[in-house]
Amino acid sequence: MKNCWEIKGCSGSLRDSCVVYIEGMAPVTGGVNCWDYLKCEETKRNNCCAYQQRRGQDCWKVTSTLCEGITILEFKDKMKLCRKCEFFVKHAKKS
């Protein structure tokens, strides 16, 4: 079955910042969490919603993480950050 972005020809930054597309990216971290991979220091991780929700293996789907020291509320803005992140590049895989 085709995905909506394939049927509609949706691509590039429009597709890449869409929550539907991102939600289809399965984590393939092999059990590694972002806070360990990126050596996120304890105080920061304790205050981060990804850590609090134990979403270290698909943190790119969680808005308001503290990776840059501030919370980014808009999903599309957060994805601009995630797309440049080594953890995301290495571990997010479109299913």
Residues lying near ligand SF4 in the complex (CB under 6 A) are found at: 34-35, 38, 40, 44-45, 48, 50-51, 56, 59-60, 65-67, 81-82, 85, 87-88
Alpha-carbon torsion 28, 33, 39, 40, what sign?
A: positive
Smallest distance, ligand SF4 to C-beta of residue 3, A: 21
Block residue for tokens 């995630």:
82
Smallest gap from Cβ 79 to ligand SF4, in A, equals 8
Q: How far is the CB of 1 from ligand SF4 (least distance, A)?
A: 27
**Could you give the angle at the alpha carbon of 16 between the alpha carbons of 76 and 75, nearest 5°?**
20
